[in-house]
Amino acid sequence: SDVYLFDEPTSGLSSKDSEHVMEIIRGMAHNKIIVVTIHQPSSKIFQMFHKAILLDKGGRLVFFGTPSEMLRYFVEAEHQHQFGAEL
């Protein structure tokens, strides 16, 4: 299987151009592995991914799953943090 790595392919681009680049990359993904690093994706671009990985500064895996699962994970983590802070 082919593997492609794109490091910050949307860096310095407008929102519209960033979405266009990501649509092109997504179109390439059939039967391939595509790895894209993006530090601050828009919500629209974030939802284009099949899976998302979040690493901490030390490279430790914080999260792996779909974009929707990631959003739920952080909503739950925020609720747990708020609850713990109130004790």
Q: Contact 15/42 with Cβ under 8 angstroms? A: yes
What's the confidence (pLDDT) of residue 10? 95
Per-residue pLDDT tens over the stretch 2-22: 999 999 999 999 999 999 999
Per-residue pLDDT tens over the stretch 59-82: 999 999 999 999 999 888 876 766
Residue 86 has pLDDT above 70, yes or no: no
What's the confidence (pLDDT) of residue 87? 41
Strands 32-37 and 52-55: unpaired
Domain boundaries, the chain: 2-86
pTM: 0.74
The CATH H-level (homologous superfamily) assignment of domain 2-86 is: P-loop containing nucleotide triphosphate hydrolases (3.40.50.300)
